[in-house]
């Protein structure tokens, strides 16, 4: 075999190897995030209807409008896939609903705020390094949407969609719940895909989870 043919064969082999590695990595990541996120031991999830202390969580009390608390980690691939859908919701409902980003991560508060600001989504930001605020809401993966009704009680906590790409309008769970909340209706019946947590686990610190926390 000529030297040129050997080089060509080697180049083709390397290309096939690189392509196979990329496909395997994509498949593994897609498979990993299609599984339910393990629930942290000791995490107490407040039930729907529980009064939410918005002043403590986001620095504002209820003003009669529903509040969407967007639990997000800028480093999470699933959160990044959700970004355009979030923008759509803000444009559609922003005049009737308060949106707040509860930003998760292991960095300090200013770094988390800056990371989300780079997404160019025009909503207030509350940094939650260590996950203490998210734990009080019972959220343990990203992205998750938590809706607090206009009366200040937990209305919905769950996924934005059944697919990580938010591509199925029939399973836009946060949007469906939000429309019902705005209309003053009871939460529609939801499939398990709506509330079983998927996505990236939150980087909780040990002291963020208080199993003895009382609920109203």
Give 166's pLDDT tier (boundaries 50, 70, 90): low
Q: State the pLDDT at residue 202.
A: 86
Give 63's pLDDT tier (boundaries 50, 70, 90): confident
Helices (H), the chain: 3-32, 54-58, 77-93, 109-117, 132-137, 173-182, 192-195
Q: With contact defined as beta carbons under 8 Å apart, do 2 and 163 qualify?
A: no
Give 62's pLDDT tier (boundaries 50, 70, 90): confident
Q: With contact defined as beta carbons under 8 Å apart, do 103 and 203 qualify?
A: no
| For residue 27, pLDDT beyond 50 | no
The pTM of this model reads 0.80
| For residue 26, pLDDT beyond 60 | no
| For residue 210, pLDDT beyond 60 | no
Percent of the chain residues topping a pLDDT of 90: 59
**What is the distance between the alpha carbons of residues 52 and 60, in angstroms, rounded to a whole number?**
11
**What is the distance between the alpha carbons of residues 164 and 29, in angstroms, rounded to a whole number?**
11
CA angle 130, 209, 70 (to 5 degrees): 55
Q: State the pLDDT at residue 162.
A: 85
């Amino acid at each position: 075999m000529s030297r040129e043919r050997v080089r060509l064969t080697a180049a083709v082999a390397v290309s096939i190897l690189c392509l196979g590695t990329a496909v395997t990595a994509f498949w593994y990541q897609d498979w990993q995030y299609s599984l339910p996120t393990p629930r942290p031991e000791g995490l107490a999830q407040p039930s729907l209807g529980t009064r939410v202390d918005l002043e403590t969580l986001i620095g504002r009390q209820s003003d009669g409008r529903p509040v969407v608390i967007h639990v997000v980690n800028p480093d999470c691939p699933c959160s990044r896939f959700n970004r355009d859908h979030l923008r759509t919701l803000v444009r559609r409902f922003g005049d009737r609903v308060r949106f707040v980003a509860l930003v998760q991560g292991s960095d300090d508060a200013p770094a988390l705020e800056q990371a989300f600001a780079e997404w160019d989504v025009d909503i207030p930001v509350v940094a939650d390094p260590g996950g203490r605020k998210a734990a009080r809401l019972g959220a343990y993966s990203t992205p998750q949407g938590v809706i607090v009704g206009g009366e200040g009680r937990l209305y919905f906590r769950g996924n934005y969609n059944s697919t990580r790409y938010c591509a199925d309008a029939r399973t836009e769970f946060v949007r469906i719940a939000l429309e019902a909340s705005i209309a003053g209706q009871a939460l529609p019946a939801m499939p398990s895909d709506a509330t079983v947590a998927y996505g990236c686990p939150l980087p909780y610190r040990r002291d963020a989870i208080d199993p003895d926390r009382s609920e109203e």
